[in-house]
Chains A and B, each alone.
Chain A
Amino acid sequence: DAGVTQSPTHLIKTRGQQVTLRCSPKSGHDTVSWYQQALGQGPQFIFQYYEEEERQRGNFPDRFSGHQFPNYSSELNVNALLLGDSALYLCASSDWVGETQYFGPGTRLLVL
């Protein structure tokens, strides 16, 4: 049973560029959430997708956007990258009626 997978594992971008991160949920899960974990901090909730719609959103600017596909996989897009966007981006999947989220290994983004 495959767990949550994310790609790529590492990414280096320069300020002003755009980036797309990808996530495949655990088998049987239909809900995907994205979190940003800055160095030395706890993860911060970005947004959640269910039935291809954004259901909840954290305190992140509109530069952060996402998408969920019919197979439940998801993308996180960040436009106009800032140095402060450098972080580990974690994807978590769950069942819509379940309380437990399972995390992927993350994508480490470095913005230069």
Chain B
Amino acid sequence: AQSVTQLGSHVSVSEGALVLLRCNYSSSVPPYLFWYVQYPNQGLQLLLKYTSAATLVKGINGFEAEFKKSETSFHLTKPSAHMSDAAEYFCAVSPFTGTASKLTFGTGTRLQVTL
């Protein structure tokens, strides 16, 4: 069984400040981990993914995440927030099976960026 916990349903940062969105996972098998972003009234866009290669993963729009097995974490960071980063962010896990597997999502974190 797999699960994801996203700490903080709402995060507010000032423009230019560090963004840190937290994700902890539970998985009985080696996981794949993903961060998706959802803008209002839209579908999900893939930001980045961890697939057992490098533990520090760089994604689009300046985001990155680090896989820490000992902490079962996959936190998302961005050095400097932009107004356009305001959106809902979802962390997701799927098992490493060699074939396409279902994604298990967290409940999401809404990021607000203020001037």
A: residues with CB less than 8 A from B are 4, 31, 33, 35, 40-45, 48, 50, 56, 58, 90, 92, 94-106, 108
B: residues with CB less than 8 A from A are 4, 32, 34, 36, 41-46, 49, 51, 90, 92, 94, 96, 98-108
* Distance in angstroms between the alpha carbons of A33 and B100 in the assembled complex: 9
Whole-angstrom distance between the Cβ of B56 and the nearest chain A Cβ: 18
A–B Cβ pairs within 8 angstroms, 30 of them: A31-B100, A33-B100, A35-B103, A41-B107, A42-B106, A42-B107, A43-B44, A45-B104, A48-B100, A48-B102, A50-B100, A56-B102, A92-B44, A92-B103, A95-B100, A96-B99, A97-B100, A98-B100, A99-B51, A99-B101, A100-B34, A101-B100, A102-B46, A103-B45, A103-B46, A105-B42, A105-B43, A106-B42, A106-B43, A108-B41
